[in-house]
């Protein structure tokens, strides 16, 4: 097999200093995107790295969930009601719904409960910091939020109706559409559009996603294949950043670069790929998400090869490579995006050569028979890596054209270094086809919603408690899966919430300062012998409700007034 060019890109955002540890996208991505069941051996390297920080930087509960806010993603705008709703919905339903842009929840499966408590109060209670226990619990940290949140009807409506993802729209459109695709050999292995949507591949129209081409061409059996793999690292701010991209063609030719902005990488990819290019990889949706790009023609090694027959989990690239290629990758020295990309390319080419049944027990392939045949063959050593070559420079600008791999004796050091760097590729002509992918998908970029009942029906173990007045929600009759409780008597209302809340994953509750007017001496501080003022009572009732939640609960407290509203948000964990 001929040697090759490689394309790699190391991407650094601004002047942030990256941590020394670099991790393969395949090990860290499930935590990053929270997409269903974890692949084999996932999380291990990422969790090891996350615990290597100094003890002073560690959260109070090292094994629990962590909430990381990134308000810069709001582009200077105040947090709005819909932003809060997206975090609530994504924490509850995870990969099924839109991911919030302003917050990242690590280990969301560890969040046992969410409480969103809205309290309508006069503005002087907000400005005078009247709630001492509340301030202490939330470490006196709060966020200003958009005043439109004071509209209770709209706020609860947004919580009870979930934004449709692009993927869900695609699936809905496909149910109504008639397929009329030409047949050719490679088509047997391409992911269908519905499979891409079900596996949460990015699509045109999603926020910050760009397509690999503006216009595409029809693919044929002669359409070229390019394998892609990405590497991630964790920054000082504990955010995931894309650090390296490797694109390998069928001849093992590679392209790479050293320090490049993501926008430049995207332009280079658009220039490199022809309009009928087929992208291959292993769980490639994660790599495309990291690149913030979408592509219509995909062959995914994790779906065409399966020796276990699992429907929710996939065989790891490491194990597939060991079984079918008799090679060890992703060893103790770390991961290399080039090595992973080239392994995925060879797996796909092997599958194309061997046929539909080969390597997939779901199609009738016999795993045990394959192992028996392997056992009868002469034992061969797993291929070792050769000594590295010297570095190379771009033939156009003379800059270094590849990434210096951090993996000791990595196979990428023996690959033919790229002749052209990303900076030069991005200025090349972008060849286009004549097919508008966005039009064929018929995506409505205005956000559509679906009632929360739909998602509760999909996972019957989830439940929602609604402790606010029904008349505040116009379409309440559609939220049949939620349990509703409400009392105008504040004592009864709070007690009912506390009694019911442990049966539910999400508690949506409302208190109003007007509920506390005219309260009787039964709710008195007996030591003082006098009725507490309204703000003290509100403070007390808020803390009663918060105290009744489970550990590892995500607590949201909104203090809303007509002119100013604030949000407290905190994970309740053991100290």
The answer to whether residue 45 scores a pLDDT higher than 50 is: no
**50 confidence band (pLDDT: 50, 70, 90):** very low
Does residue 138 sit in the same domain as residue 263?
no
**326 confidence band (pLDDT: 50, 70, 90):** confident
**Which of 329-333, 498-502, 533-537 bottoms out in mean pLDDT, i.e. has the lowest?**
329-333
What is the pLDDT, as a whole number, of residue 97? Answer: 82
Sign of the four-CA dihedral 88, 94, 96, 101:
positive
- Asked whether residue 457 is assigned to any structural domain, the reply reads yes
What is the pLDDT, as a whole number, of residue 195? Answer: 85
What is the pLDDT, as a whole number, of residue 224? Answer: 93
Q: Which residue has the tokens 């009738």?
A: 364
- Asked whether residue 112 is assigned to any structural domain, the reply reads yes
Chain centroid to CA 544: 34
Last residue of a domain, one of 420, 441, 462: 441
Does residue 346 sit in the same domain as residue 468?
no
Does residue 529 sit in the same domain as residue 511?
yes
The answer to whether residue 36 scores a pLDDT higher than 50 is: no
**34 confidence band (pLDDT: 50, 70, 90):** very low
Rounded to an integer, what distance in angstroms lies between the CA atom of residue 201 and that of residue 193?
9
Does residue 205 sit in the same domain as residue 279?
yes
The answer to whether residue 387 scores a pLDDT higher than 60 is: no
**53 confidence band (pLDDT: 50, 70, 90):** very low
Q: Domain total for the chain?
A: 2
The better pLDDT of the pair 495, 238 is held by 495
Does residue 437 sit in the same domain as residue 454?
no
What is the pLDDT, as a whole number, of residue 142? Answer: 94
Rounded to an integer, what distance in angstroms lies between the CA atom of residue 50 and that of residue 55?
11
The better pLDDT of the pair 291, 417 is held by 291
Does residue 362 sit in the same domain as residue 236?
yes
Reduced to 3 states, what is the DSSP secondary structure of residue 227?
A: strand
Does residue 466 sit in the same domain as residue 419?
no
pLDDT tens readout for residues 128-151: 877 889 999 999 999 999 988 999
Q: Considering the chain, what is the average pLDDT of its residues? A: 77
12: its two tokens? 């650094």
Rounded to an integer, what distance in angstroms lies between the CA atom of residue 270 and that of residue 419?
18
What is the pLDDT, as a whole number, of residue 487? Answer: 87
- Asked whether residue 519 is assigned to any structural domain, the reply reads yes
- Asked whether residue 174 is assigned to any structural domain, the reply reads no
**561 confidence band (pLDDT: 50, 70, 90):** very high
What is the pLDDT, as a whole number, of residue 444? Answer: 62
Q: Exposed e or buried b for every residue in 354-393, given b needs 16+ CB within 10 A?
A: eeeebbbbeeebeeeebeeeeeeeeeeeeeebeebeeeee
CB 3 within 8 A of CB 252: yes
What is the pLDDT, as a whole number, of residue 89? Answer: 93
Last residue of a domain, one of 421, 441, 461: 441
Average pLDDT over residues 253-259: 57
Rounded to an integer, what distance in angstroms lies between the CA atom of residue 359 and that of residue 62?
40
The better pLDDT of the pair 193, 49 is held by 193
CB 69 within 8 A of CB 101: no
Does residue 398 sit in the same domain as residue 270?
yes
- Asked whether residue 470 is assigned to any structural domain, the reply reads yes
Task: For residue 99, give its domain range.
Answer: 80-164+448-572
The residues, ordered by sequence, that sit 6+ positions from 224 with a Cβ below 8 Å of its Cβ are 249, 250, 274, 276, 277, 278
pLDDT tens readout for residues 96-139: 788 888 998 888 889 999 999 999 998 888 888 778 899 999 99
Does residue 553 sit in the same domain as residue 415?
no
CB 541 within 8 A of CB 494: yes
Chain centroid to CA 65: 15
pLDDT tens readout for residues 276-322: 999 999 999 999 998 999 999 999 999 999 888 766 678 889 889 98
What is the pLDDT, as a whole number, of residue 29? Answer: 34
**186 confidence band (pLDDT: 50, 70, 90):** confident
What is the pLDDT, as a whole number, of residue 43? Answer: 32
The answer to whether residue 175 scores a pLDDT higher than 70 is: no
Tally of helices (H runs) and strands (E runs) in the chain: 19, 22
CATH of the domain at 357: 3.30.420.10
What is the pLDDT, as a whole number, of residue 349? Answer: 93
The number of beta carbons lying within 10 Å of the beta carbon of residue 187 is 14
Sign of the four-CA dihedral 81, 87, 91, 96:
positive
Describe the crossing of helices 284-291 and 25-33 by its angle, rounded to 10 degrees: 70
CB 327 within 8 A of CB 349: no
Rounded to an integer, what distance in angstroms lies between the CA atom of residue 202 and that of residue 193?
11
Rounded to an integer, what distance in angstroms lies between the CA atom of residue 40 and that of residue 283?
12
- Asked whether residue 344 is assigned to any structural domain, the reply reads yes
The answer to whether residue 90 scores a pLDDT higher than 60 is: yes
**5 confidence band (pLDDT: 50, 70, 90):** very low
CB 303 within 8 A of CB 191: yes
pLDDT tens readout for residues 13-23: 333 333 333 33
Question: Which element (helix H / strand E) includes 423?
Answer: helix 422-425
Rounded to an integer, what distance in angstroms lies between the CA atom of residue 239 and that of residue 45?
16
What is the pLDDT, as a whole number, of residue 481? Answer: 77
511: its two tokens? 């208190």
Does residue 410 sit in the same domain as residue 482?
no
The answer to whether residue 58 scores a pLDDT higher than 60 is: no
Does residue 345 sit in the same domain as residue 204?
yes
**Which of 145-154, 353-362, 411-420, 444-453 bottoms out in mean pLDDT, i.e. has the lowest?**
411-420
- Asked whether residue 41 is assigned to any structural domain, the reply reads no
Rounded to an integer, what distance in angstroms lies between the CA atom of residue 246 and that of residue 369?
35
Chain centroid to CA 182: 34
Looking from the CA of 50 toward its CB, the CA atoms found within 13 Å total: 22
CB 242 within 8 A of CB 2: no
- Asked whether residue 39 is assigned to any structural domain, the reply reads no
Last residue of a domain, one of 441, 464, 498: 441
Tell me the CA distances in angstroms from 563 to 121, 146, 151, 253, one per residue in order.
Answer: 11, 9, 11, 61
What is the pLDDT, as a whole number, of residue 108? Answer: 86
The residues, ordered by sequence, that sit 6+ positions from 312 with a Cβ below 8 Å of its Cβ are 36, 37
Does residue 159 sit in the same domain as residue 303?
no
């Amino acid at each position: 097999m001929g040697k090759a060019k490689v394309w790699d890109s190391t991407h650094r955002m601004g002047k942030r200093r990256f941590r020394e540890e670099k991790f393969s996208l395949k090990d860290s991505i499930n935590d990053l995107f929270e997409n269903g069941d974890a692949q084999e051996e996932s999380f291990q390297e990422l969790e090891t790295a996350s615990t290597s920080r100094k003890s002073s930087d560690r959260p109070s509960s090292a094994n629990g969930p962590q909430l990381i806010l990134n308000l810069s993603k709001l582009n200077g705008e105040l947090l709005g009601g819909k932003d809060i709703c997206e975090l609530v919905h994504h924490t509850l339903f995870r990969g099924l719904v839109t991911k919030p842009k302003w917050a990242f929840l690590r280990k969301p499966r560890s969040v046992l409960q969410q409480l969103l408590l809205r309290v309508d109060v006069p503005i002087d209670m907000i400005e005078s910091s009247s709630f001492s226990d509340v301030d202490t619990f939330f470490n006196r940290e709060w966020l200003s939020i958009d005043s439109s949140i004071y509209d209770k009807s709209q706020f609860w409506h947004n919580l009870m109706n979930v934004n449709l993802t692009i993927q869900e729209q695609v699936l809905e459109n496909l149910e109504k559409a008639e397929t009329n695709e030409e047949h050719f050999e490679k088509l047997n292995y391409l992911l269908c559009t519905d499979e891409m949507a079900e596996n949460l591949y990015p699509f045109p129209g999603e926020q910050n996603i760009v397509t690999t081409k503006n216009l595409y061409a029809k693919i044929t059996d002669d359409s070229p294949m390019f394998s892609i793999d990405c590497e991630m690292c964790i920054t000082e701010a504990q955010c995931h950043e894309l650090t390296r991209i490797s694109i390998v063609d069928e001849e093992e030719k590679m392209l790479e670069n050293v320090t490049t902005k993501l926008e430049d990488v995207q332009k280079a990819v658009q220039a490199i790929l022809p309009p009928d290019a087929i992208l291959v990889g292993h769980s490639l949706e994660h790599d495309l998400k990291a690149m913030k790009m979408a592509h219509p023609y995909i062959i995914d090694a994790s779906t065409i090869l399966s020796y276990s027959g699992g429907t929710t989990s996939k065989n790891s690239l490491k194990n597939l490579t060991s079984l079918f290629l008799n090679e060890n990758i992703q060893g103790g020295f770390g991961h290399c995006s080039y090595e992973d990309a080239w392994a995925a390319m060879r797996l796909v080419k092997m599958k194309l050569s061997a046929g539909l049944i080969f390597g997939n027990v779901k199609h009738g392939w016999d795993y045990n028979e394959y192992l028996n045949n392997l056992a009868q063959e002469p034992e061969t050593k797993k291929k070792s890596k050769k000594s590295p070559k010297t570095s190379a420079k771009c033939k156009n600008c003379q800059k270094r054209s590849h990434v210096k791999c951090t993996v000791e004796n990595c196979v990428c050091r023996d690959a033919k270094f790229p002749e052209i760097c990303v900076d030069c590729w991005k200025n090349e002509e972008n060849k286009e086809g004549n097919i508008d992918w966005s039009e064929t998908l018929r995506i409505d970029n205005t956000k559509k919603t679906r009632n929360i009942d739909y998602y509760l029906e999909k996972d019957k173990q989830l439940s929602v408690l609604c402790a606010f007045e029904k008349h505040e929600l116009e379409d309440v009759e559609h939220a049949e899966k939620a349990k509703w409780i409400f009392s105008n008597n504040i004592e009864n209302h709070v007690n009912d919430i506390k009694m019911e809340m442990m049966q539910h994953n999400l508690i949506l509750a409302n208190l109003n300062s007007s509920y506390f007017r005219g309260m009787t001496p039964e709710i008195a501080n007996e030591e003082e012998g006098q009725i507490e003022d309204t703000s003290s009572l509100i403070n007390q009732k808020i803390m009663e409700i918060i105290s009744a939640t489970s550990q590892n609960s995500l607590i949201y407290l909104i203090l809303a007034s007509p002119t100013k509203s604030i949000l407290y948000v905190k994970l309740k964990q053991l100290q």
